[in-house]
Amino acid sequence: MRDDEHDTLRQLYQYRCGYCGVREEDVGAVLTVDHFEPRSRGGLHHPENWVYACHACNEFKGDFHQPDQPFRILHPLRDQLGTHVTEDADGRLRGLTQTGTFHVERLHLNRPQLVRYRVERRRQQELRQTQIRQLQRLQELEEQIQAMTEELNGINREAGNKID
């Protein structure tokens, strides 16, 4: 694999594991390249067959490959993951189809560290939402203060005129 091919793959996957979504920053390293169709089963060493994947997901996937069975691994880009898998509020992934359930189990996508990672990500998103709401509220208050100041200035001008 050439450097530019590697960079293209990383970009394509937004520097995240295609299977579990952890980022290079989370792992503190460049991730691995999975052959979706394992080389041991005749898979080609070709961009079409590459998935950017963290070490753990790559290991759990191993040389499993049954593309024509309901019990198969989903492809991060070619399958509609949302049809097969959903994330619950407790950070655990749940299969919506037989294939989704198999996919989650096979790749151990509810390993404790990943569940904690998702919970933490949800918490961060909620904090961001709260922060946005607070900034909006602050903006509204500033506008009210502005309007009241103008009103007050008007009253002062009138009072000043009367004294004169």
> Quick check: 114 binds Zn ion (CB under 5 A)?
no
Nearer to Zn ion, 20 or 93 (CB): 20
- Shortest distance in whole angstroms from residue 55 CB to Zn ion: 8
- The answer to whether 32 and 58 have CB atoms below 8 angstroms apart is yes
Segment interacting with Zn ion (CB under 5 A) among 55-63, 67-75, 117-125, 155-163:
55-63
Q: How far apart are CA 86 and CA 163, in angstroms?
A: 72
- Among 33, 54, 74, 104, contact with Zn ion (rule: CB under 5 A): 54
- Looking at residue 16, the DSSP 8-state letter turns out to be B
* Cα 148 to Cα 138, 143, 155, 156, distances in angstroms: 15, 9, 11, 12
Nearer to Zn ion, 13 or 19 (CB): 19
Number of residues forming the site for Zn ion (CB under 5 A): 5
Gyration radius of the chain over CA positions: 26
Where does this chain bind Zn ion (CB under 5 A)?
17, 19-20, 54, 57
